[in-house]
């Protein structure tokens, strides 16, 4: 069976003994799937802790990643992604510089990391219509001017990210996105060198993966219809991470996925096999990984804005009047996250 390589590797990953695949790392990743609740923000938050010299950009209007980095985020005092993009949509507005904030100043767990972030804004819900309006206003220009104006708009997030990375001496970036393609997610795809796609072990997430791949590859899609093939950055798929995986309880199963997880693992593998040209190595074995359901560890991590890497077995917390604990599987989760991080950078 084609997925056996991935299943066998997963045991070594869980034990912290797996060899790196040797994927070529990229500078800018977009964390995306066109469905909510599948682990995008959780992955973005935890992977951002496992590296250094990183810029994290929150383009989801809900702002969960921004809140993890700064629990006072909803007070709305910082320069945000919308502030950076607006001058590209409304001519005459001044552009921001050094908008990124040091994460360690607002989240104690990042104090020894040289990592920065740019927060989201709830006004990003309005961005799709503003983006369409700005692009439509270029239609009256001559062809060369029109293409230049559209390129400036569509690559606005990329331009701002690269400027912020240069100004803060950063060499990595991860963009957390919303479940909706139009607007900031579209700009994130133009900005990204590659995509990281979490897929939950359920039917809706698998369908969302198929929709994402169609949007990425179809010439008629919103992503591809504005710019010519030679003038467009087409990100590859660095990895698909199957989240909320369950494991066999049979004695001696050695961290083998349960039957439900195997079903979805096989389905995702088959999808990637049909779209090998989107994978940097062309081999799904190198780009599909599994991640546990974090259970209590995930709830405590989210409640305290504390990376999984820093949790210890036996920690407890009362959350919404329920006592939640970190169980022994947290070490396996840590090894999985660290392995995934090493395949990115």
Query: Is 325 domain-assigned?
Result: no
Residue 322 located in a structural domain? no
Q: Is residue 257 part of a domain?
A: no
Domain-located, residue 114: yes
pLDDT at 224: 87
| Average pLDDT value over all residues in the chain | 93
What does the alpha-carbon distance between residue 222 and residue 226 come to, in Å, rounded to a whole number?
Answer: 7
Give me the mean pLDDT over the 100-107 stretch. 97
Neighbours of 147 (CB within 10 A): 16
Separation CA 264–CA 206 (nearest Å): 8
Q: Is residue 73 part of a domain?
A: yes
The CATH number that applies at residue 155 is 3.40.50.300
Quote the Cα angle for 297-299-300, to 5°. 65
Burial 6-29 (b: 16+ CB within 10 A, else e): bbebbeebbeeebeebebeebbbb
Q: How confident is the model at residue 279 (pLDDT cuts 50, 70, 90)?
A: very high
Is pLDDT of 281 > 70? yes
Residue 336 in this model has a pLDDT that exceeds 60 = yes
Question: Which residues form the domain of 123?
Answer: 34-192
**Domain count for the chain:** 1
Is residue 1 predicted with pLDDT exceeding 60? no
* C-alpha torsion sign, points 92, 94, 96, 97: positive
DSSP-assigned letter for residue 253: -
pLDDT at 300 over 90: yes
Residues 109-141: pLDDT tens digits? 999 999 999 999 999 999 999 999 999 999 889
- pLDDT above 90 (res 232): no
**141 belongs to a structural domain:** yes
Mean pLDDT of 187-212: 96
The share of the chain scoring above pLDDT 90, in percent, equals: 78
The pLDDT of residue 255: 72
Q: How far apart are the first and last CA of the chain?
A: 30
Q: Is 63 left (phi over 0), alpha (psi -120 to 50) or beta?
A: left
Spatial separation of the C-alpha atoms in residues 120 and 130, rounded to whole Å: 16
What's the chain's length in residues?
345
Asked whether residue 182 is assigned to any structural domain, the reply reads yes
Distance CA(83)–CA(302), nearest Å, equals: 27
Percent of the chain at pLDDT above 70? Answer: 97
Confidence of residue 231 (pLDDT cuts 50, 70, 90): low
Q: Report the pLDDT value the prediction gives residue 108, as an integer from 0 to 100.
A: 98
Report if residue 102 sits inside a domain: yes
Whether the per-residue pLDDT at 102 is higher than 80: the answer is yes
Half-sphere exposure of 149 (CA within 13 A, CB side): 19
| Cα–Cα dist 190/185, whole Å | 9
- Lowest average pLDDT, out of 146-150, 281-285, 302-306, goes to 146-150
Chain centroid, CA 186 distance in Å: 13
Let me know the angle formed at the C-alpha of 273 by 48 and 269, rounded to the nearest 5 degrees.
60
Q: Is the pLDDT of residue 230 over 80?
A: no
Residues 43 and 308: beta-carbon distance below 8 Å: no
pLDDT digits (tens, 9 = 90+) for 61-78: 999 999 999 999 988 778
Q: Collapsing DSSP states into helix, strand and coil, what is residue 225?
A: coil
Q: 257 or 55: which carries more pLDDT confidence? A: 55
Question: Which tens digits make up the pLDDT trace of 314-325?
Answer: 999 999 899 999
β-strands 236-245, 288-292 pairing: parallel
pLDDT of 290 over the 90 cut: yes
């Amino acid at each position: 069976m084609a997925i056996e390589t991935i299943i066998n590797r997963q045991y070594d990953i869980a034990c912290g003994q797996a060899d790196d695949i040797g994927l070529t790392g990229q500078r800018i990743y977009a964390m995306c799937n066109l469905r909510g609740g599948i682990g995008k923000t959780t992955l973005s938050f935890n992977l951002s802790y496992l590296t250094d010299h990183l810029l994290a950009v929150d383009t989801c209007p809900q702002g969960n990643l921004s809140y993890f980095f700064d629990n006072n985020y909803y007070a709305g005092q910082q320069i945000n992604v919308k502030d950076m993009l607006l001058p590209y949509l409304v001519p005459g507005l001044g552009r921001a510089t050094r908008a990124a904030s040091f994460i360690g100043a607002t989240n104690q767990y990042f104090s020894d990391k040289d990592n920065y972030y740019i927060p989201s804004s709830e006004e990003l819900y309005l961005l799709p219509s503003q983006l369409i309006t700005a692009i439509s206003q270029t239609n009256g220009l001559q062809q060369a001017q029109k293409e230049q104006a559209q390129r400036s708009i569509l690559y606005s997030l990329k331009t701002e990210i690269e400027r912020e990375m240069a100004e803060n001496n950063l060499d990595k970036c991860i963009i957390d996105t919303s479940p909706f393609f139009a607007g900031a997610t579209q700009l994130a795809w133009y900005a990204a060198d590659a995509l990281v796609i979490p897929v939950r072990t359920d039917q809706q997430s698998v369908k969302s993966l198929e929709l994402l791949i169609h949007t990425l590859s179809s010439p008629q899609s919103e992503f591809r219809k504005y710019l010519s093939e030679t003038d467009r950055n087409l990100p590859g798929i660095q990895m698909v991470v199957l989240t909320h995986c369950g494991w066999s309880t049979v004695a001696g199963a050695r961290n083998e996925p349960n039957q439900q997880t195997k079903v979805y693992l096989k389905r995702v593998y088959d999808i990637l096999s049909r779209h090998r040209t989107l994978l940097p190595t062309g081999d799904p074995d190198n780009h599909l990984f599994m991640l546990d359901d974090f259970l209590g560890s995930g709830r405590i991590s989210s409640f305290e804005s504390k990376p999984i890497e820093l949790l210890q077995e036996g920690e407890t917390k009362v959350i919404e009047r329920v006592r939640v604990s970190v169980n022994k599987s947290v070490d396996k989760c840590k090894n999985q996250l660290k392995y995934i991080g090493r395949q990115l950078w």
